[in-house]
Structures are given as C-alpha cells and as structure tokens.
Amino acid sequence: MIEAFANLAVLGGTGKEGKGLAFRWAKAGYKVTIGSRDIEKARAAASELNQLLGRDLVDGSDNLSAAQKADMVVLTVPHSAHKATLETVKNALQGKILVDVTVPLVPPKVTKVQMPPAGSAAQEAREILGEGVEVVDAFQSISYEHLMFGDEVPCDVLVTGSSKEARLRVVTLVEAAGLTGWDAGPIENSVVVEGLTSLLIYINKQYGSTHAGIKITGVHKA
C-alpha cells in the first residue's frame, strides 16, 4: 500500500542498507531519491538500481536536496556520520518524519551494546533536530542481504519512535518493503531495537551466519 508520502529520500543510500531499502520501495511504487555527500555517487547508485528494476524509478541527489523534496526521509549512515549528516539536513526535515536506521556501533567491539549518552541514536537525532521532526527507528535488525537478495524476508521489523501516528506510518512503509512491522512503542524503547543489532552480530559470529534476525510470536495482526 502506498501512503500519501510517496516521495522518499534515503540519505546515505549509496551504501548497503540504504540501497537495499531504496530498491524495495521503488519496486513497490514509491518515488525514491538516493542522497549522498557526492551527487555523482548518488546518481551511480540510482542508475545501478534502475538497471535492476528495469525502469527509471530512482534518482540521485545531494543529501540536502534529497531531504528537501521528500515527504519522508530515511537515514542510513554509520553512527560516526549520524550527527554531521543530520545537521546538514536539519531545516529540510522540519515537519517531516525521519526514519532512522542508524545503529550506534562502536568499532571494533560491534558485538557489544554501547549506547550513546542520549540513550540511543534515535534519541540523539531528536535532540539534534528538535520537536518539529518525528524520529522513528526501523530496520536495525534487517541485514542488507535480505533486502537486496531475498524476496521473502523471514524477520520482523520493530518500529519505535516519538509519536504513535509516525510509528504507524512507518509500519506501513515497512510493509511496502515486503516485511512485517510492529509498533514497538515510544522512542525510549529504541535502546532495545538498536541494541539488538550487536546481539545479532554476536550470534552471527558464534554460529557462522551473516543475517540472523528476529520474529515476534504469539500475536496476530488484524
């Protein structure tokens, strides 16, 4: 189902996770702009996806222009680039929803949960952007391999964030990407969602996998 916000920007969408998400949303009919610090890099990523899609559905732009023209903005950059990227697009995000996919990993100990002082990357984003931007966490436990190479993704997406309305809109976006999304509560719960990634990376290492995930059981969607 396509919502009113059919224009999406994926900032850092030249990378693995963002490209996977952009691919899925473009397939579902959304207009997607890949944002980058380097417009040529963004255009190259868009062209790669258009070749896979067989149609020109994705375009590429600098991060700020992508955020300005989008109805909803998705952020997929390493935590080390999180604050600087948000400061670049702060004004363009006012009145919109930011879907934050960032995991605050601290290399080299990425199998250990190490949250920032704000509590989570999502709460950091809210501090930087202010109350004019709803910040919603999603996709932290979905490996890019599932997004690019698997049709059916056997993992669920936990959605936490600053308002229920925003979370429900992001659950719709999750489902448009072909995954099951759950409203998992307020932004304070983002510590669990983001922390889960280190735990899954640890499990991957212990059991020789690359894409461990989670599934919610014991509850059915209406």
Contact footprint for ligand NAP (CB under 6 A): 12, 14-18, 36-38, 41, 76-81, 84-85, 101-103, 105, 139-140, 142-144
Of 57 and 200, the one with the shorter C-beta distance to ligand NAP is 200
Comparison of 130 and 149: residue with beta carbon closer to ligand NAP: 149
100 vs 77: CA distance, rounded Å: 9
* Cβ neighbours of residue 84 closer than 8 Å, sequence gap 6 or more: none
Tokens 């049709």 belong to 151
169: number of CA atoms within 13 Å, CB side? 22
Tell me how far, at minimum, the Cβ of 4 lies from ligand NAP, in Å. 26
CB closer to ligand NAP, 10 vs 54: 10
Q: Which is nearer to ligand NAP, 31 or 41 (CB)?
A: 41
Burial 191-218 (b: 16+ CB within 10 A, else e): bbbbbbbbbbbeeeeeeeeebbbeeeee
Residue 15 CB neighbours (<10 A): 17
